[in-house]
């Protein structure tokens, strides 16, 4: 039999030998036995039922939840000379009738079905008329409520065991814990099934979990590294995928969105363009099970936090399915859990809600764990990792340098104890770095003697040190929806006895961010001087100070990026629509002339540091600009009128109000208070998400609420809390 299997393997699939476990599984199934197969993505699961299908006389029925993947697999099988078809909601009634006739006639060897089809009694009666030799259940973890992608319609599959009790069944998945495996076997009544467990290790994949800092630029740097090569980017929501794909296209990267909300034809077109290498980047939701079977994906980026480790593992499994080196990067911020928790709260079933929170906590543990990522993943899925040599994750690849962390540890522990061990890492870091956030001011923590005692440390460095302290049992992170940091007994002894502690050197900023900031300081000094003279000429003509035209920051950026179109000129810090119309033409002409004379090409600007630049400019001029806004507020003018008079955005005026209030300026702004019902709705979202982050609240409230209105509401809510 082994020789025949090799012949079939070579003839139809082009391989001379099996991958690990494949031959054993195929032989077991051909012998008429049930099997549960756990094999990583790219490990060759499909062949475990496709090859037996060629051996059997009858039909092989494959249940799959991924409609888009059905077409890919059927196309591939057809190309390999194996007559196959699929039945799902994407087909017209005439197309479906044609396929059903072919199945009935025996001219189809493998038929792919969506699980919903099995709930139809008419379809069950049709199946009874067929000779079915093998049942394959792909993505079998969907059967279990303990799985990361439970689908109630998968419970319909029990009917198959009743209709075909003697037909061998093979259930396959890439992601299942021990508990999920047991549930699959119980639900499918596969009591005599043999379990085949391949290694979950994907040695060709590099795993990196990186603290979010200027995430769009981090993404730009990664995509630049893999320019022209296939990449998948996972986002939280459908809107995120649309916006990010648009931003990438505006920055000279070709990308398409892919999510369940796109009409089927557009989704199909986008998928085909990606598979055919017409577009190198696909941006998808983490909630949508992507059926993209592309072997040469070189980069998978999680732009937002996945819902579970199973989801993360399956999604990273899209990379390097051809066995070639590929990279998987997760840009991590604990703040991303806020969105997940907001929607988890709305889950009515207590058991399901508890399970979702548990899985979210597990993926956070992976991100914050200060040890080998590969080891963590393998042990999560119940695989012993003692014999695995990684050296291919961010932890194992990073420098093994250490540093004397005694002083910074004492500072961190002191802040945690002074705040009664009631807050999470981000809040503790804000105190350490001297933040004047609304929460800190409201609680009076800015008056603590420990406030601002670690201003010289970056947020990323402090986060990394805190993770190390947790790993060294100096700190403990409490369980629950809002975890807090607590000092362990060992930590209290260390603090009391002033013991020395050595920790791994923090990763801090990513090298390419440092490089980007360094590059920004390299402006063309000759062009800068030309632009400075032009600015003075215009200012003299208009009888205004030169900085009214453009600040030095704007001129420096012009001398870095050489913008020569309206679109690129708008990306310069300090350039708005109005200044573009007033001064853009003069400055672009000067830049174009200089660039042509010196054979310099325009450089793309990714708009990463523009907000920081604008914020810096406002701080430098805060006395004049803020006081002018205050004077107009004292006249009880509407925000729209103030913005018009100042030549600023309404959102900026509200930001001025926030700064003035935090600086203890008395403002009479009651006349600007949003209507009670809208204020209450915004308040409820702030309370439910337990965050001050505007982006999270805005995403939940939707387009009916502007950022300016939410920010304005936040001011009144802050004052309301302060007065309580």
The residue written with tokens 């007994």 in the block is: 489
Residue 387 — pLDDT band, cuts 50, 70, 90? low
Q: From residue 645, how far is each of 617, 629, 640, 649, 651 by CA, in Å?
A: 19, 10, 9, 10, 14
- Given 549, 581, 612, the domain boundary residue is 612
Tell me the C-alpha distance between 72 and 291, whole Å.
8
Higher pLDDT, 408 or 78: 408
Residues 440 and 366 both lie in one domain: no
Residue 371 and residue 441 share a domain: no
C-alpha neighbours within 13 Å on the C-beta side of residue 328: 22
Angle made by CA atoms 601, 602, 604, in degrees to the nearest 5: 130
Taking Cα atoms as reference points, which of 200, 172, 185 lies closest to residue 45? 172
Q: Are strands 475-477 and 326-332 parallel, antiparallel or unpaired?
A: unpaired
pLDDT at 130 over 70: yes
pLDDT band at 617, cuts 50/70/90? very low
CATH number of the domain within which 638 lies: 1.10.10.1390
pLDDT digits (tens, 9 = 90+) for 70-111: 877 887 788 677 899 999 887 888 898 999 999 998 899 999
Residue with tokens 């999920």, as numbered in its chain: 180
Q: How far is CA 668 from CA 35, 385, 634, 639, in A?
A: 73, 64, 7, 13
Q: Which of 195, 194, 132, 180 is nearest to 159 (CA)?
A: 132
- Write down the pLDDT at residue 382: 81
Query: Which residue, 16, 84, 14, is CA-closest to 49?
Result: 84
Give tens-digit pLDDT for 351-363: 888 888 888 999 9
Instruction: Confirm whether 485 is domain-assigned.
Output: yes
Shared domain for 182 and 230, answered yes or no, is: no
Sign of the alpha-carbon torsion through 388, 393, 395, 399: positive
Provide the pLDDT for residue 609: 37
* Boundary-marking domain end, from 476, 506, 536: 506
Q: Please check whether residues 332 and 435 belong to one and the same domain.
A: no
Is 120 in the same domain as 238? Answer: no
Say if residue 73 is in the same domain as residue 94: yes
Question: Is the model's pLDDT at 340 over the cut of 80?
Answer: yes
SS3 content of the chain, % helix, strand, coil (to 5): 55, 10, 35
Q: Are 500 and 406 in contact (CB under 8 A)?
A: yes
DSSP strand pairing (281-285 vs 255-258) = parallel
Write down the pLDDT at residue 62. Answer: 94
When mean pLDDT is compared across 201-215, 455-469, 503-517, 554-568, the lowest value belongs to 503-517
Residue 219 has pLDDT above 90, yes or no: yes
Least trusted range by pLDDT, from 12-16, 29-33, 132-136: 12-16
> Residue 663: how many CB atoms within 10 A of its CB?
10
Q: How far is CA 118 from CA 124, 716, 723, in A?
A: 6, 55, 61
HSE-CB of 401 using CA atoms within 13 angstroms:
6
Strands 299-302 and 281-285: unpaired
Tokens of 222: 């990664």
Contact 538, 583 (CB under 8 A): yes
Q: Is the pLDDT of residue 577 over 80?
A: no
Classify 573 as helix, strand or coil. coil
- In a domain, residue 160? The reply is yes
Per-residue confidence at 646, pLDDT binned at 50, 70, 90?
confident
Instruction: Say whether pLDDT at 545 is over 80.
Output: no
User: Of 170, 80, 156, whose CA–CA distance to 116 is shortest?
Assistant: 156
* Domain contains 450: yes
User: What gap in Å lies between CA 416 and CA 335, rounded to an integer?
Assistant: 20
Same domain, 330 and 456: no
Residue 413's H or E segment, with its range, is helix 406-418
| Residue 74: predicted pLDDT | 84
Which CATH number do you get for residue 350?
A: 3.40.50.300
The larger pLDDT score, comparing residue 317 to residue 175, is at 317
The pLDDT score that the predictor gives to residue 257 is 93
Q: What is the pLDDT of residues 428-467, one digit of tens each?
A: 999 999 988 888 988 999 999 999 999 888 887 888 899 8
31's tokens: 């012998």
Give the DSSP per-residue string, 503-555. Answer: EEPP--S-HHHHHHHHHHT---HHHHHHHHHHHHHHHHHHTS-HHHH--HHHH
- Pairwise pLDDT comparison (330 vs 568), residue with the higher score: 330
Residues 261 and 351 in one domain: yes
**Closest Cα to residue 673, out of 641, 716, 643, 634?**
716
Residue 650's closest CA among 640, 659, 660, 658? 640
Burial 676-700 (b: 16+ CB within 10 A, else e): eeebebbeebbeebebeeeebbbbb
CA distance linking residue 580 with residue 590, whole number of Å: 14
516, 548 Cβ separation under 8 angstroms = no
**Residue pair 510/210 in contact by the 8 Å Cβ criterion:** yes
* Mean pLDDT to the nearest integer, 268-282: 84
**Does residue 24 lie in a domain region?**
yes
Range name among 1-15, 67-81, 516-530, 613-627 with the lowest pLDDT average: 613-627
Residue 721's pLDDT band (cuts 50, 70, 90): low
Q: How far apart are CA 167 and CA 437, in angstroms?
A: 65
Say which residue the tokens 């699959």 belong to. 184
User: For the chain, how many structural domains are there in total?
Assistant: 5
Mean pLDDT, range 158-167, rounded to an integer:
88
User: Both 630 and 607 in a single domain?
Assistant: no
**How far, in whole angstroms, is CA 695 from its chain's centroid?**
15
Beta strands 485-487 and 475-477: pairing type?
Answer: antiparallel
Domain containing residue 627: 616-723
The CATH number of the domain where 565 resides is what? 1.10.150.80
CA distance 625 to 270: 47
User: What pLDDT sits at residue 223?
Assistant: 94
Any domain includes 515: no
Phi, psi of 244 (to 5 degrees): -70, -40
First to last CA, the chain: 80
Of the listed ranges 278-282, 332-336, 394-398, the one predicted with least confidence: 394-398
Tell me: do 591 and 658 sit in the same domain: no
Tokens of 600: 């310099």
In a domain, 514, yes or no: no
| Tens digits of residue pLDDT in 163-190 | 998 999 999 988 777 888 888 898 888 8
Q: Which residue has the tokens 């990583």?
A: 40
User: In angstroms, how far is CA 700 from the centroid of its own chain?
Assistant: 17
Distance CA 278, CA 67 (A): 22
> For residue 530, is pLDDT > 60?
yes
Which of 567, 591, 612 lies at the terminal end of a domain, its last residue?
Answer: 612
Tell me: pLDDT of 64 over 80.
yes
**pTM to 2 decimal places:** 0.57
Does 516 map to a domain? no
Does residue 624 surpass a pLDDT of 70?
Answer: no
| Arithmetic mean of pLDDT over the chain | 83
* One domain for residues 629 and 573: no
Residue 505 clears pLDDT 80, i.e. is over it: no
pLDDT at position 619 is 38
Burial class (CB in 10 A: 0-12, 13-18, 19+), 195: middle
| pLDDT recorded at residue 213 | 78
Percent share of the chain, pLDDT over 90: 28
Q: Identify which of 581, 563, 564 has the alpha carbon closest to the alpha carbon of residue 572.
A: 563
Q: Residues 57-70: what's their mean pLDDT?
A: 85
Q: Strand order of the sheet with strand 231-235? A: 205-211, 326-332, 299-302, 231-235, 281-285, 255-258
Tell whether 513 is covered by a domain.
Answer: no
Q: Which helix (H) or strand (E) holds 701?
A: helix 694-701
Do residue 32 and residue 154 come from a single domain? yes
pLDDT at site 591: 95
Report the alpha-carbon distance of residue 14 to residue 492 in Å, rounded. Answer: 64
């Amino acid at each position: 039999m082994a020789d025949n299997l090799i012949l079939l393997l070579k003839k139809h699939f082009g391989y001379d030998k099996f991958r690990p476990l494949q031959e054993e599984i195929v032989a077991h199934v051909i012998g008429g036995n049930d099997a549960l197969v756990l094999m990583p993505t790219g490990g060759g699961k499909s062949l475990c039922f496709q090859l037996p299908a060629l051996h059997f006389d009858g039909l092989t029925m494959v249940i799959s939840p991924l409609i888009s993947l059905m077409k890919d697999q059927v196309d591939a099988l057809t190309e390999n000379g194996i007559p196959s078809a699929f039945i799902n909601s994407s087909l017209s009634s005439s197309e479906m009738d044609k396929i059903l006739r072919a199945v009935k006639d025996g001219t189809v060897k493998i038929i792919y079905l969506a699980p919903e089809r099995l709930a139809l009694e008419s379809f069950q009666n049709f199946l009874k008329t067929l000779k079915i030799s093998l049942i394959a259940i792909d993505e079998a973890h969907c059967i279990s409520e303990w799985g990361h992608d439970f689908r109630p319609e998968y419970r319909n599959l029990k009917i198959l065991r009743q209709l075909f009790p003697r037909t061998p069944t093979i259930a396959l998945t890439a992601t299942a814990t021990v508990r999920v495996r047991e549930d699959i076997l119980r639900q499918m009544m596969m009591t005599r099934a043999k379990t085949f467990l391949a290694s979950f290790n994907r040695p060709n994949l590099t795993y990196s979990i990186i603290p979010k800092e200027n995430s769009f630029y981090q993404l730009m740097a990664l995509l630049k590294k893999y320019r022209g090569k296939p990449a998948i980017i996972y986002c939280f929501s459908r809107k995120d995928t649309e916006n990010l794909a648009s931003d990438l296209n505006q920055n000279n990267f070709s990308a398409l969105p892919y999510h369940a909300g796109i009409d089927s034809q557009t989704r199909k077109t986008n998928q085909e363009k990606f598979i055919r290498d017409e577009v190198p980047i696909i941006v998808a939701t983490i909630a949508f099970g992507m059926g993209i079977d592309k072997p040469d994906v070189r980069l998978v980026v999680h732009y937002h936090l996945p819902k579970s480790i199973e989801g993360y593992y399956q999604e990273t499994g899209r990379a390097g399915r051809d066995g070639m080196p590929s990279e998987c990067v997760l840009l991590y911020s604990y703040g991303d859990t806020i969105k997940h928790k907001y929607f988890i709260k709305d889950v009515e079933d207590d058991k399901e809600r508890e399970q979702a929170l548990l899985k979210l906590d597990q993926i956070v543990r992976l991100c914050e764990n200060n040890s080998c990522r590969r080891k963590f993943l393998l042990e999560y899925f119940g695989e012993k990792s003692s014999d695995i040599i990684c050296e291919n994750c961010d932890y194992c690849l990073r420098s093994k340098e250490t540093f004397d962390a005694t002083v910074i540890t004492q500072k961190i522990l002191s802040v945690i104890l002074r705040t009664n061990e009631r807050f999470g890492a981000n809040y503790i870091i804000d105190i350490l770095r001297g933040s004047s956030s609304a929460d800190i001011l409201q609680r009076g923590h800015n008056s603590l003697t420990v406030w601002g005692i670690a201003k010289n440390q970056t947020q990323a460095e402090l986060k990394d040190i805190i993770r190390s302290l947790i790993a060294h049992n100096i700190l403990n992170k409490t369980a629950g929806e809002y975890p807090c940091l607590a000092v362990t007994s060992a930590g209290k002894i260390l603090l009391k006895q002033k013991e020395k502690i050595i920790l791994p050197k923090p990763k801090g900023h990513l090298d390419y961010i440092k490089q980007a900031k360094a590059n920004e300081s390299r402006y063309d000094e000759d062009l800068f001087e030309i632009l400075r003279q032009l600015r003075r000429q215009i200012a003299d003509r208009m009888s205004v100070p030169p900085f009214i035209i453009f600040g030095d920051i704007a001129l420096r950026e012009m001398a870095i990026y050489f913008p020569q179109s309206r679109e690129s000129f708008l990306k310069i810090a300090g350039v708005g629509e109005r200044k573009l119309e007033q001064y853009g033409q003069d400055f672009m002409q000067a830049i174009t002339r200089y660039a042509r004379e010196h054979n310099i090409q325009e450089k793309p600007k990714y708009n990463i540091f523009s907000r920081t630049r604008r914020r810096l400019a406002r701080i430098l001029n805060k006395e004049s600009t803020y006081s002018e806004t205050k004077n107009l507020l004292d006249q009880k003018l509407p925000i729209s009128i103030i913005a018009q008079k100042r030549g600023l955005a309404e959102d900026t005026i509200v930001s001025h109000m926030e700064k003035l209030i935090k600086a203890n300026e008395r403002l009479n702004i009651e006349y600007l208070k949003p209507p009670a019902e809208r204020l209450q709705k915004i308040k409820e979202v702030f309370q439910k998400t337990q965050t001050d982050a505007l982006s999270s609240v805005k995403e939940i409230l939707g387009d009916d609420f502007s950022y300016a209105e939410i920010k304005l509401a936040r001011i009144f809510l802050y004052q309301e809390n302060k007065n309580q």
